[in-house]
Amino acid sequence: MSKESHIFIAGARGMVGSAIERRLKEKGYRNLLVPNREELDLFNLVEVNDFFSKQKIDCVIDAAAKVGGIMANDKYRADFIHQNLLIQVNLFEAAHRNDVDNFLFLGSSCIYPKNSPQPIKEDFLLSSPLEPTNEPYAIAKIAGLKTAESFKRQYGRNYFSLMPTNLYGVNDNFHPQNSHVIPALIQRMNKAIQEGEGEFSVWGTGEPRREFLYVDDLADACIHLLEEGRDIPYWLNVGTGEDISIKNLSLLIAKLMNFKGEVVFDTSKPDGTMLKCLDVSKIKSLGWTPKVSLEEGLEKTIKWYLSSESVRSY
């Protein structure tokens, strides 16, 4: 991939896609295709293929997905598997049909079994059952990973996948019911502060440990691998290789937001997987390493959220 490459970012309005677009522009890439949902319906194969046939596309970065936290994944199971599969199938089909040789598919660390040994290596894929609450989403992402692998094996195309750990950052989804853990904690804690609450409740025991990656670090990983141009493995983990308990994460966010009340834990709610930390030795061996610490990333995310709070409808 060069500065002159025509790069299509699917899902460029989301947290991941917008971070990738932002970082590409900062590095001097200008031929970026970033249509919104009104301009391109990713659920419509005819429309997607027509878009590919009319554009000179050298590379596809698939950051388009229906995503959410534990509650959303468990409640909207059909939506999560069906919509994600449909987007993936259409993009791979159009890219292959229109002879696009470079395709980066972005998945999720939830593809790995619920009880994987820690840290989780790429080789652990499909070695035992998935976490039930997000199984439909995970299956869709596994299908995307295997589609990229299969096109590479059969046709020799440079299609590969990255499996990020839990992401957060600027332009995240802060919906009170359908967001991931960090934006959900930030949104709810801000509400508690505004309402003068003396207690803040967190789902579960607080004992599960999670790994978090600031979204700009993921964007840098994507660009680094695409620029390398060398033979990339079929899929790679992307993360920090370090985790934190939900309890300590909640307390850190409380400190950064200056919440003066007590943080308590609702043990009647599910914990999910107790441990989930990625082995990132493979991607680090290719020259990438994360730069943003958890505290720094949280400070940036909180500042962005509070600065844009007035325009939110929830």
Whether residue 228 contacts residue 287, with contact meaning beta carbons closer than 8 Å, is answered with yes
Identify the three-state secondary structure at position 36.
Answer: coil
The bridge status of strand 275-276 relative to strand 235-238 is unpaired
Burial of 299 (0-12, 13-18, 19+ CB in 10 A): middle
- How many Cβ atoms are within 10 Å of 268's Cβ, its own excluded? 7
Cα distances (angstroms) measured from residue 204 to each of 186, 192, 287 = 17, 19, 37
Among this protein's residues, is 76 annotated catalytic?
Answer: no
Distance, in Å, from the CA atom of 22 to the CA atom of 190, rounded to the nearest integer, reads 27
- The DSSP 8-state label assigned to residue 132 in this structure reads G
Identify the three-state secondary structure at position 147.
Answer: helix
Distance, in Å, from the CA atom of 310 to the CA atom of 51, rounded to the nearest integer, reads 36
Distance, in Å, from the CA atom of 309 to the CA atom of 257, rounded to the nearest integer, reads 14
Catalytic residue among 137, 159, 214, 305: 137
Helix (H) or strand (E) holding 13: none
Active site residues: 137
